[in-house]
Amino acid sequence: MIPVVTSPSLVSAVGVTKDFPGVRALDNVSFSVEIGEVHALLGENGAGKSTLTKVLAGDYPPDAGWVEVLGQRIRFSSPHDARRAGIRLVTQERSLVPSLSAAENVFMGVLPSRAGALLDRRELNRRTRAELDRVGLEHVDPGKEVGLLRPAEQQLVEIARALSREGRVLILDEPTAALSTQETARLFDVVRALRSSGVGILYISHRIGELRDIADRVTVLRDGRVASTHLVTETTREGLVREMIGRDLKEMYPRRRTSFGEPALVFDHTTVPGICEDISLTVRRGEIVAVFGLVGSGATELPYVAAGDRPGNGVFLSGSAGLVPADRHAEAIFPASTLRRNLTAPSIGRYQRLGIYRRRAEQAAAERQIESLRIRPPATEALISSLSGGNQQKVVVGRWLERGADVLMLSEPTRGVDVGARAEIYAILASRCDAGAAVFIASSDIDEVAGLADQVVVMAKGRIVERLAGSAITTERLLEAATR
């Protein structure tokens, strides 16, 4: 049972309902973040998490119900109203300007000035120093360009900016998606310090395993409704997964294969300066090979090398190849285009005959992939930007299936994807292997690598330091090899 909270919540959604054309995104949702609490929010892509956070952050007005701040009912007419109430949203997509300094990013729009016009650089650096120290960036110079910082440091600069505007409620959307194990631990130290100072944190993550280390309570959304709220100490991974998807997830990972075909992708003493050195490995048809390593190991770059996107030598391909990059937003999808066009982009030449564009052929191809991959909603003319992250990722994979690629190369294949969509993507990759394709992935998700791959190579400092296959692939051996 959840303890009764007697003091007013920092922020609450009370009976919030939100409708969009043809869909009810939130249905009578009540939710709260308390003073000095980390409250995790879980749910499949499309469960309503993003809509709820946007209601709390002032982007969407509720159609029914309301928002309270410290017990007072408030109607936000814009994100500015929510920020003025102390609610700060830090999204997965960075909003920093890479060419500006950390100081200029933290205080963008409220830069201190002298004589009403001149930038007071000394005061700016003084204030920034205090905010960076608060989030564990004591080593970062306020004048350093943000684009030169590591992803984890950029994440903390985002948090520093949110807190500099008297943030009392911090909404963190997938804050560890692009972070290493060490960087995640550092971020958690910052979150704990903020919690101790009375800041309330709404923490959204697909990484269920990390919740026990950082969250106090967890709420699960399913189909726009609250499925459950628990103390984290009273939950299990299996139970949370069941509540998220409404059924038991009996087999997250497909069976391992033991019989493989001819080589389809070969690295033969491949060297790419700054990425990898003397890499030799083979991916055979019917096989899933994974490369694993910590940040800076070169592991996540190897699919790009295989696809010819990084200059190198000694890579041999047999068949038609397709690359699924690590950042679908920046490197894969066309956000202003339809689901149809995103699915068919690499194959667009097929839908022309004698210079005439055949719309019906393209439409049929898109509908075929939508049905096969269970992409939701199944609306070919919907903008891809309106789809959940898991469905967007299935589109990026599906475009290469439509192209007929039989060598699939994926970097971080399920980054920012919920547990249900993960299982579907794993099943897609397994079915392609069963059909004779070769699959090569690079992933920083150690459980994913251990559960999915038939063979794993572990990298450190650009070199292969360990090779594992079959039952020898365990999370313990992977981590031990990566940290030697």
Q: What is the pLDDT of residues 169-218, one digit of tens each?
A: 999 988 887 677 777 888 898 899 889 999 999 999 878 888 989 999 99
Q: Which residue ranges make up each domain of the chain?
A: 11-245, 251-319+406-484, 335-403
DSSP string, 409-457: EEESTTTT--HHHHHHHHHHHHHHHHTT-EEEEE-S-HHHHHHH-SEEE
Per-residue tokens: 24: 């009810």
Reduced DSSP (H G I as helix, E B as strand, rest coil) percent helix, strand, coil of the chain, to 5: 35, 25, 35
Task: Give the per-residue pLDDT at 1.
Answer: 42
Q: List per-residue pLDDT tens for the chain, 484 residues long.
A: 454 455 789 999 999 999 987 778 899 999 999 999 999 999 876 788 989 999 999 999 999 999 999 999 998 999 999 988 999 888 766 678 999 999 999 988 778 877 666 788 888 999 999 989 888 888 999 999 999 988 778 888 888 888 787 778 999 988 887 677 777 888 898 899 889 999 999 999 878 888 989 999 999 998 899 999 999 999 988 888 888 877 665 567 887 778 899 999 999 999 999 899 999 999 999 999 999 987 778 899 999 999 988 777 789 999 899 999 998 988 999 999 999 999 999 998 888 887 788 889 999 999 999 998 988 888 899 999 888 888 899 999 999 999 999 999 999 999 878 777 888 899 999 999 999 999 999 998 888 898 899 999 999 889 999 999 988 998 889 878 887 6
Q: Coil, strand, or helix at residue 316?
A: strand
Task: Give the per-residue pLDDT at 251.
Answer: 64
Task: Give the per-residue pLDDT at 6.
Answer: 57
Return the amino acid letter for 393.
Q
Q: Give the tens place of pLDDT for each residue, 336-376.
A: 999 999 999 999 888 888 778 888 999 999 999 999 898 88
Task: Give the per-residue pLDDT at 102.
Answer: 92
Question: What is the rounded distance in angstroms from the CA atom of residue 395 to the CA atom of residue 373?
Answer: 8
Task: Give the per-residue pLDDT at 362.
Answer: 92
Cα angle, residue 173 at apex, residues 451 and 338 outer, rounded to 5°: 85
**CA–CA distances in Å: residue 223 to residues 25, 44, 57, 381, 477:** 7, 9, 21, 23, 38
For strand 288-292 and strand 455-460, is the pairing parallel, antiparallel, or unpaired? parallel
**CATH class, 251-319+406-484 region:** alpha beta
**CA–CA distances in Å: residue 392 to residues 188, 236, 262, 361, 385:** 29, 29, 32, 22, 8
Phi-psi bin for 475: left (phi > 0), alpha (psi -120 to 50), beta? alpha
**CATH class, 11-245 region:** alpha beta
CB distance 27 to 204 below 8 Å: no
Question: Using CA of residue 154, residue 160, residue 164, residue 166, what is the dihedral sign?
Answer: positive
> Residue 53: which of 157, 205, 178 has the closest Cα?
205
Question: What is the rounded distance in angstroms from the CA atom of residue 481 to the CA atom of residue 171?
Answer: 35
